[in-house]
Structure 1
Amino acid sequence: MFTRRFSSTPRGARLARLLAERRLVEWGVPHGSDASFAARLVVGELAANAATHGRVPGRDFELSLTLLAPAAAPATLRIEVSDTRAERVPPTADALSTPFPYADSGRGLHLVSALATHWTARPRSPLGKTLLAELELPAGQSGVGHCGGAAAAGL
């Protein structure tokens, strides 16, 4: 498991994405692979949302990555991004509105929906919310074959 706190700024969101990519390489997910690209995009979007929409001055957001490696199925990467703005919960995946074609924003969670096996938002104790997304990693891109299930999960 990988967990770090970052400043709720664009720089913090960028650092979260870069460190997530580095951790995936350490877990055996090849840099430049489809799985690495999808994970970077999802982490980048959720971190940017936390820094933009979930920002509370003086409070950080948190990124957690967990590589779940069941023996009989493809590995799953769980991405969790938590912030301290409980009142700004995004709509569910099936309730996302279609952004105006020329809008500058509003497409990020559509990307997360397209790439993630599933995603959800849930309350965080004592305050805030957590957005959780899971990505199924194809065989050969999960790192499980390279360093073993428990080792890849950081256990």
Structure 2
Amino acid sequence: MNLKSPELPTRIRNFSVQLSPTPRAARLARLLATEQLRSWGLPLDPARQVIAELSANAAIHGRVPGRDFRLLLYVVADTLRIELTDTYGDRLPRPQHPTTDAESGRGLVLVEALASRWGVSPGPTPRKTVWAEVVLPPAVRNPCSGAAGCLPQETRG
């Protein structure tokens, strides 16, 4: 008699898009990511704001003419990971604390406040990846069931 229970396949949720380093593409990254999060049944905030800030940084500060940036989203266990890879690896981001009347410069301060953690990973020259992780609320931590971007991954017992 086999008492081993059948294993359910796990689900991997991922989304990736490559865009030109322009303000318009940064906006498109946010819009596409928002739709992907919706299709996965995940909360839009704070992820949408983190994606907007990191995409804008990739388009403005990571801009190298003729080289694209990439947005990657994936869910592992209870965490949504957001990655923006650009081709300006020599220019590492760091939070700034602008004056109260400054019109910009708060992006990474916002990311730091909204994300569970964030950082920078060097890539093959000339790339770098700025990443942020957002912990998902308990109600949405279950794997997706057939939603777009969900790929079955077989497990072995």
TM class, shorter-length:
0.7 to 0.9
Aligned with residue 145 of structure 2, among 131, 144, 147: 147
**1-side partners of 2:19 and 2:69: how far apart?**
5
Are 2:48 and 1:40 equivalent residues in the alignment?
A: yes
Q: Could you list the structure 1 runs, at least 4 aligned residues long, displaced by more than 6 angstroms after superposition.
A: none
What runs of 5+ residues in structure 1 fail to find an aligned partner? 30-34, 70-74
1:22 aligns with 2:35: yes
Over the residues paired in the alignment, what is the CA RMSD in angstroms? 2.0
How far apart, in 1, do the equivalents of 2:83 and 2:67 lie?
A: 17
TM-score, normalised to structure 2, is 0.81
Unaligned runs of 5+ in 2: 1-13, 153-157
Q: Distance in 1 between matches of 2:110 and 2:150?
A: 25
Structure whose residues are more often helix by fraction: 1
Q: CA deviation at 1:104?
A: 1.2
Indicate the percent of aligned positions where both proteins have the same amino acid.
49
Please show how residues 53-132 of structure 1 align to structure 2 within 5 Å: 53-69=61-77, 75-91=78-94, 96-132=95-131
State the partner residue of 1:133: 132
Give the CA deviation at 1:82.
0.5
Count the aligned residue pairs: 139
Q: CA deviation at 1:38?
A: 0.7
Q: TM-score, normalised by structure 1?
A: 0.82
Aligned to 1:52: 60
For residues 18-46 of structure 1, what are the alpha-carbon distances to aligned partners after superposition, in whole Å with 9 as ceiling and x for unaligned? 111111111111xxxxx412111000100
Structure with higher Rg: it is: 2
